[in-house]
Amino acid sequence: MPKESKPNKSSGTDIFQILTERAEEERKGQREKLLAPLGVKEYFAEGTITVNKRTCKGLECKLCMKACPTNALFWKRGEVGLTRDLCIYCGACVLNCIVDDCIQISRKRPDGRVERFSTPRGFVALQHNIDARKRFEKISEVFPTAEDYIEQQHKLGSHGVSKKK
């Protein structure tokens, strides 16, 4: 009676990992193809979106669907449907929704920070913080230190106009 041979485990290749990575690459490629005709160039690559079907007033308002720039939200058999590959996690739907915590978005920025919001107020606060951070960075580029700022103000004088020498 012949002996059964055991599979050779000498190669350290994880086929599941390879298949998962390939599927993810194909999904990203498909998403880029879907978004290209819409003119969308900048979007959040990673994120999640959920719509609470119990609190949604979709039939009454449809505001989230009208606000969606990619038509990822649509009317489907009595409820709001979602095409996840079209969603760019921009937050327009949350900003226009009349019910707090009905649409929840979680998205990952290129620098790794994760943002979550589900109310218009939360979205606006998030955008304000991002804009404030950008303004601070811009000011830091122009005036790296307080002394540089004070020196510039002395050069401009009290009216904001450069003094003639």
pLDDT attached to residue 154: 84
Name the more confident of 4 and 157: 157
Name the more confident of 49 and 156: 49
Name the more confident of 4 and 58: 58
Answer yes or no: pTM beyond 0.75.
no
Interval 131-151: pLDDT, tens: 888 888 888 887 778 787 788
Amino acid at 130: I
| Residue in this structure with the two tokens 């913080």, named with its chain if needed | 129
pLDDT attached to residue 11: 56
20 Cβ contact partners less than 8 Å away, ≥ 6 residues apart: none
Q: Is the pLDDT of residue 165 over 50?
A: no
Interatomic CA distance for residues 50 and 102, integer angstroms: 8
Interatomic CA distance for residues 33 and 86, integer angstroms: 10
DSSP 11-52: S---HHHHHHHHHHHHHHHHHHHHHGGGT-----SEEEEEE-
117 Cβ contact partners less than 8 Å away, ≥ 6 residues apart: 91, 94, 104, 105, 123, 126
Interatomic CA distance for residues 124 and 109, integer angstroms: 17
CB 40 within 8 A of CB 70: yes
Name the more confident of 107 and 24: 107
The two tokens of residue 49 are 């979106």
Binned at pLDDT 50, 70 and 90, residue 3 comes out as low
Interval 100-126: pLDDT, tens: 999 999 999 888 889 999 999 999 998
Name the more confident of 39 and 71: 71
Interatomic CA distance for residues 150 and 156, integer angstroms: 10
Domains of the chain: 42-156 (3.30.70.20)
CB atoms within 10 A of CB 92: 19
